[in-house]
Structure 1
Amino acid sequence: MDINYHSNVNKKNSFSNFITDKSNEYIIKIIKIIIFKKNIYNTLFLYGKTGLGKTHLLHSIVNYVKLNKINLKVIYVHSEKFVENMVRSLKNNSIEKFKKYYRKVDLLLIDDIQFFQNKIRSQEELLHTIIYILENKKKIIITANKHPNIINNIEERLKSRFNWGMVICIKNIKKKTIVNIIKNKLKNKNIKLKKKVIDHIYKYKKFSIKELESVLNKILTISYLKKKKITINFIKKINKENILYKKKISIEKIKQTVANYYNLSPIDLTSKYKYKSITMARHIAIAISKKLTNKSLIEIGKSFGGRDHTTILYSYRKINYLRKKNKDIQIDFRYLIQTLIV
């Protein structure tokens, strides 16, 4: 009986909407060579700073394989999820099932490998999985935030395997490309801004593209809440009010604010209770956490009682849908966002 593989990825991510500089364009070509060519490059290690699109590329691979009906068993997994699955399998005495699941793929995609730092038992299992896959002439693509040789507290045998194939740095992208990213995000939201306004927004990029995205989301949200047109003066004004770079909002603060609003306890939001009032409040708290923090789906799931990242994504999408259909949900969501960021 064939194993049923699942890869929870963003279906909107594709090679065509991976916006990058010319210096990085060849990466997609190499990925496609790895997918199609049997005797070339069994491993690809992609590394670079946060926000350069590493996860986007891995999601795009899964979507590309599905769209083109390529006969490959492919699985995408975040390193944290791999560790969680392994620990759960050990507890449930199902480690052989775990091994079979990950070792019988044609193409294994592992995101943020630096998460394995200091996890000795998990590194051992990962090493055996990689050895098995490569010995059977299957392929692996891995991402990390730095070159494999300088990731601390990772076993040398693993680093050796990471270096067996191609190791490629995803380079920082230039202003023109980042501006295109802003334009693309605005286009997806059906929002048009003048070029000089977009250029001004670019100035708020201090550390990473993800941080710039956070600033852009705040500008759009505050404009929506205050029913104000987005101009340079509007942006400067809210920046003076210390809103754009306000102290980071924690998930704990979001849970407390949402719980107070609905006369609940923050514990209710992390519980397994399925009462309608609690479930809806939990969905809203999760959606706000996704919108106002830079936490991953897995990290948000942990903060809400150890829920799976697919559950977190479901809550986020559900609230986005309900906000368009239900006036009360729309009002509640708007008020809570305003309370937290303004």
Structure 2
Amino acid sequence: MEETPTPLDDPDRPAPGPPRSGPWDGYLVGPENELAQAAARELARGVNDGSPLVLIGPSGSGKTRLLEELIADRIARRPDASVSLVTAEAFADACHRAADRETPADWAEVRRSFRGVDLLALDDLHGMTRSPLALAELEPTLDALDAVGASVAVSVRDDPGRWDGWPRRLADRLRSGLTVRLDRPGPATRRRYLLDRVRQLGLTATAEALDTLAEAADGYRLLDGWLARATLMARVDRRPIDLDLVNSLIHDDQSASPGVSIAQVIHAVARSFGLRPRDLRSASRRAALVEARHLAIFLARDLTGASFAELGKAFGGRDSKTIRHACQATSRRLADDPTLASAAGAIRSRWTPESADHPGP
């Protein structure tokens, strides 16, 4: 039965949203992140036996949001606590500014800002790999925080111990903490997220539209971007967020994506593995071939933004569920297999050269 959505509120009025009652309000917990959330809540309470807490997961898995909620929880529990949430890039910039000025006072100020806190949260730690100076400063920073019983949480895309250029002692220090993996949200979690956001923003959307968005996106950032654009389009046209609007948005996004085709990705992966493109489209379940096929699906999704349905058609008529499984399995495999991650980085660098320095997902 076709749904009949109610009209939108006045588009000139700010969208209403229920006030947050406290930390973790509205935070969705599912199989992809429940262990990580439990660990973060423990750390927020001051239980830092496993410090540093190392959150490992691909882009779009919600690592930044988890750190934000951790900080909010600690402040709610201890309003007088000194906390800091900073990106690795900002940490590195602060170190380089101090080094450029070459005055002890500047270094003292930088170290006081990072070492004089009760809880330090460093986001996107992989962004520090290009700064040996920041890596060298991070190790004594962790030592200083540990000496006073402070807590540390960091987020990374991959296990730091597998990254070239990391000081061995620093990598071992991070790996000795509590390491918890997150994955991108599954379809059920994505749909719950969209339902919550729609309710918070006071929007009207059909179930079909939300299901389509949840199916097409594989991470929170893409969902947020699409929903923001859908909201603007709906308010300008004074219409609900319906299936036609969502399909138009997704189609425009895919049409505007970089000039990389699924076929190009298939050919690149096939050459890298010594296979023929038709092997990746075949029904063969040979282990080595399945690994290459899954990587090709994962990279095609990443580089072209194609939908699961489009990928299924390109890879021999496979269904969307099979394609989604291939993406999720490869994401986990890349985090655990440095050889495969290196191969993925080399293939991806054909179109995104900067990825050669970051072969992980």
Letter in 2 for 1:123: L
Aligned to 2:71: 62
For 1:83, the equivalent position in structure 2 comes to 92
Q: 2:244 corresponds to which residue?
A: 233
2:143 equivalent to 1:131: yes
TM-score by length of 1: 0.62
Question: Would the aligned equivalents of 2:62 and 2:184 in 1 still touch at CA under 8 Å?
Answer: no
Name the amino acid aligned to 2:72.
N
Match of residue 29 from structure 1:
38
Query: What secondary structure is seen at the aligned counterpart in 1 of 2:70?
Result: helix
**For residues 37 and 209 of structure 1, what CA distance do their matches in structure 2 show?**
28
The verdict on how the C-alpha distance between 1:39 and 1:213 changes in structure 2, with shifts beyond 3 A counting, is closer
Per chain length, whose mean CA-contact separation is higher, i.e. which structure has more relative contact order (CA < 8 Å, sep 6+)?
Answer: 2
Deviations, residues 148-201 of structure 1 (Å, cap 9, x unaligned): 223333222211111121111012322111001111111221012222221122
3-state SS of paired residue (2:254): coil
Asked if structure 2 preserves the Cα contact closer than 8 Å seen for 1:14 and 1:56, the reply is: no
- Cross-structure match for 1:163: 175
Q: Kindly indicate whether residue 29 of structure 2 is the aligned counterpart of residue 20 of structure 1.
A: yes
Residue pair 1:102, 1:129 contacting (<8 A) in 2 also: yes
State the percentage of identical aligned residues.
16
Structure 1 stretches of at least 4 aligned residues deviating more than 4 Å after TM superposition: none
Residue 81 of structure 2 is matched in structure 1 by 72
The gaps in structure 1 that reach 5 residues or longer are 1-10, 250-342
Q: CA deviation at 1:37?
A: 4.6
- Partner Cα distance (1:46, 1:185) in 2: 25
Aligned match of 2:56: 47
Matching of residues 214-253 of structure 1 within 5 Å? 214-239=225-250, 242-247=251-256
How far apart, in 2, do the equivalents of 1:184 and 1:152 lie? 41
How many residues get paired? Answer: 236
Q: How far does residue 141 in structure 1 lie from its aligned partner after superposition?
A: 0.5
C-alpha distance in structure 1 between counterparts of 2:161 and 2:24, whole Å: 28
TM-score by length of 2: 0.59
- 1:88-114 deviation per Cα after TM superposition (whole angstroms, max 9, x unaligned): 223342111211221122211111100
Shift of residue 39 of structure 1?
Answer: 6.4
* Cα deviation, residue 121, structure 1: 1.0
Preserved CA contact (<8 Å) 2:55 2:63 = yes
Which letter does structure 2 place at the counterpart of 1:28? Q
Amino acid at match of 1:176: A
Partner Cα separation in structure 2 for residue 123 and residue 232 of structure 1:
48
Residue 87 of structure 1 deviates from its aligned partner by 1.8
Give the drift of 1:120. 0.8
Q: Give the Cα separation in 2 of the matches to 1:181 and 1:39.
A: 30
